[in-house]
Amino acid sequence: MSDLVLVQRRDDVAEVVLNRPDKRNAFNWSMMQALDAAITQAGNMSGVRAVILRGEGRGFSAGIDVMAFDEIVDAFGADWRRNMFPVTAAFQNIVTKFERCPHPVICLMHTYALGLALELALACDFRIVSEGTIIGLPETRLGIVPDVGGTTRLTRLVGPGRAKEFIITGKNIPLDAAERWGLVNYIVPKGGLMDKANELVAEIRLAAPLAVTYAKHVINGVSEVERGLQMEAWAQAQLMGSEDFEQGAQSMITKQTPQWKGK
């Protein structure tokens, strides 16, 4: 297995660890493939009561690695932006495996969880965040939309009115509001993430394993999410070939304000 994502087991807990700290745990295609293998391995472990997802280094993850699009060309072809459906579906399928994992998945976020990183967290069952962490879905400021479940799952968690405010503007989501709305389960002091996760695992152990698996499946309501993912893929297919996306992608590299054209 790639060392970009690690799987570690301690007793009845499996840890999935994002391990690209020199790139702020930003996701390239190789890391997504490693993530796929990791959650599959963790989900198949017998006797596991919970999976903990965390990031190595100074932050959880900065989201997609916009400097690594060459890997997408290698995997999906040079014309991938004009044929976005298989690309989006591949990313969605990997993230959705966290939602469908038979074990409860606890996501620990520190310092930053942006874009694809927050979309991944939204597919988990519990989200614990340390004080001062920056979370948000800034995709519209790049000329695209959250298409790996972020639009669908954020709306399901906080309602369409609040989701529109933060997806349309791309601004960061205040942690205190995120906790009130149920987007975040717990805010803890810096350094306290694992302690809180262990407390939660202790509570999960009190429940019957099979009942936990079925409860998770029923609550997630698979069909609603799948329809939303299809709509996200459609929207992204319209946007990836736009001039505005070119502007947004360049702005990430040059740190200049994009000049939107609306086409």
Which of 119, 179, 243, 246 is labelled catalytic?
Answer: 119
Give the whole-angstrom CA distance, residue 22 versus residue 152.
30
Number of neighbours of residue 185 by Cβ within 10 angstroms = 17
Amino acid at 159: G
Who's near 81: CB < 8 A, 6+ residues apart?
Answer: 240, 241, 245
Bridge partner list, 202: none
Residues 6 or more apart from 188 whose CB is under 8 A from it? Answer: 128, 129, 130, 131, 195, 196
103, 51 in Cβ contact below 8 A?
Answer: yes
What pairs with residue 108 in β-bridges? 128
**What CA–CA distance (Å, rounded) separates 131 from 182?**
16
| Structure tokens that stand for 130 in this block | 């340390």
Cβ atoms 72, 64 nearer than 8 A:
no
Angle, helices 222-239 vs 84-100, to 10°: value is 150
Please list the residues that pair with 130 across neighbouring strands: 188
Which residue in the list 139, 165, 199, 226 is annotated as catalytic? Answer: 139
71 is catalytic: no
Handedness of CA 41, 44, 46, 52 (dihedral sign): positive
- CA gap 207, 223 in Å, rounded: 26
**Active site annotation includes 165:** no
Task: Give me the active site residues, please.
Answer: 119, 139
